[in-house]
Structure 1
Amino acid sequence: MTELDEKSLGACGLSAEQAKIYLFLLGNGMSPAKGISLKTGIGRPLTYKILEQLTELLLVEKREDVGKVTFFRPCHPKRLKELASKRKEEMEHSSLGLQSALGLLTSQFNALQDKPNIKFFEGEEGIKHVYEDILATGRDIVIITSPIHEGRQEVLHLIKEQVKKQAEQNIKTRAITPHHEGKITAMPIDEDEKHLITRKMVPSEKLNIPAQIIVYEDKVAITNFKESLVTVLVESKYIAETFRIMFEYIWDSKE
């Protein structure tokens, strides 16, 4: 009995244990379940179960007329050819069934791929989640800042730490920042180069938005700094592409 023999029987639909027992019987002739179990190394309860399966497949014949002990003997190997043909027919039938369902399955898969993954966060946890995700992806980002975040003292330390961590990971940032009176950024503008930030200033009356927008990879993070601190994280290739196009439009505008 060789590994190749077992693999050949496996091609007929037999399990490794079924093949092992059938090949044992072919090589040793009629045997009791106890002897089969000892010689094949397959536990006796499982041996009985497999012998019943092989009997149903007409590969093994049960003999109870020899004595008090039940013996089993192999049937002619031509039965394997019949099983192989039957399996081939079943596989062809399954293939036809799969082919007819493939269109629907593909449509469902595509719909799932196009469906945005949206997460909502309240408080600082949303900002922390987005910042950690940016560091994990390691991709460059674009951001449209909100002048209102300067009044949110509870998040300024998070922004400062994030800017430093991004620079340490060589993550480049392009930022569009509304210009307004007083302090305009969480970090001094003269440190932009050190932190790998390229910035465009725009008049605050043109872009006095209450929410900050960060686009990275296939994700868009929108954090509302006015009233409740809420972050919406949208994962969608096309939505991220849309925001990037909007960003580039503002970036390239002369004003």
Structure 2
Amino acid sequence: MDKEEAVKNQLKELGLSRSEVVVYLYLLQKGLSTPTKAAFGTGIARTNCYHLLQGLKDKGLIAEQLNRKRSAYLARDPQAFRRSLERRREVIERLLPDLENLYTSQKYKPALHFYDGFEEVKELYLLPFSSNTTAMIGLGSTAKLDKLDSKFHDHWYAQCKKHKIILKDILTYTSGEKAAMAAKNIQGDLYDYRLLPDDYKNFPTDMLVWSDRVAIFALQEPIFGALIVSPLIAETFRIMFDVMWKALPPMD
């Protein structure tokens, strides 16, 4: 890489676009130039060149002067870069406390996403595998998913094993008769489950919790899913799950 190319790349790192670099270097070398002259010298369309000159002027890197009643532009001393960066740093230092306050107030506000139909719901089921989570809890009836699509049911638990996710399920008694045993056979020691009393044969929705996310699935028509992204809500569900887990007998 020659010296000129190195300079161009370094100017880009300082926040100039490729076209701004071309115009700025032209003015440094050629001196006072009208937009027409700069456009001709750089090969950039006159209208575009005018906007680039205005942008460089706003950045404090060039100055505008009248030359025979026409606007012309001149590159400032390259030390203007240092002054421009110092001004930006001062603005950032003043702005940071307000930005941090806004971030703190926003980060605990939950985000909510909806998934419509079984195909989108399957995408929601697969979301944990695109994260770095190592543990997940579930509550509901895996028998419903197994009945809707047994291949996807087995694939999902296989993905849990592939990503080495420790999964704990609290399931309906019906799920424990078949689906839970299939999951245990797939995941092995990474999987554990406990069963709700036989009185709770039907669980209207299923739930998964991982990281700062809570996913809720309705697998009866109309099939849909909802994803809540909130550290506080996720932790609340974990506490409730833990209370239930400790109250239920371990599986033999």
TM-score scaled by length of structure 1:
0.61
1:5 and 1:223 map into 2 onto residues whose CA distance is 56
Counterpart residue number, 2:181: 189
RMSD across aligned positions (CA): 4.9
1:229 and 1:5 map into 2 onto residues whose CA distance is 58
Alignment of 1:79-228 (within 5 A): 80=77, 84=80, 88=83, 92=87, 101-137=95-131, 139=133, 140-146=135-141, 149=144, 153-180=147-174, 184-187=176-179, 189=181, 192-196=184-188, 197-205=191-199, 209-225=203-219, 228=222
Query: Given the alignment, which residue of 231, 237, 243 partners 1:237?
Result: 231
Number of residue pairs the alignment of both structures matches = 224
Distance 1:25 1:208, change over 3 A: closer
Q: Displacement of 1:97 after TM fit?
A: 5.7
Distance 1:90 1:141, change over 3 A: closer
2:162 and 2:84 map into 1 onto residues whose CA distance is 61
TM-score scaled by length of structure 2:
0.61
Are positions 1:17 and 2:23 aligned together? yes
> Secondary structure in 2 aligned to 1:114?
coil
> Secondary structure in 2 aligned to 1:175?
strand
Which structure 1 segments of 5+ residues have no match? 27-32, 64-71
Counterpart residue number, 2:43: 43
Q: Displacement of 1:238 after TM fit?
A: 2.0
1:207 and 1:105 map into 2 onto residues whose CA distance is 50
Identity of counterpart residues, as a percentage? 20
Contact 2:138 2:207 in 1 (8 A): yes
- Between structure 1 and structure 2, the one with the greater Rg is 1
Which structure 2 segments of 5+ residues have no match? none
Distance 1:221 1:166, change over 3 A: same
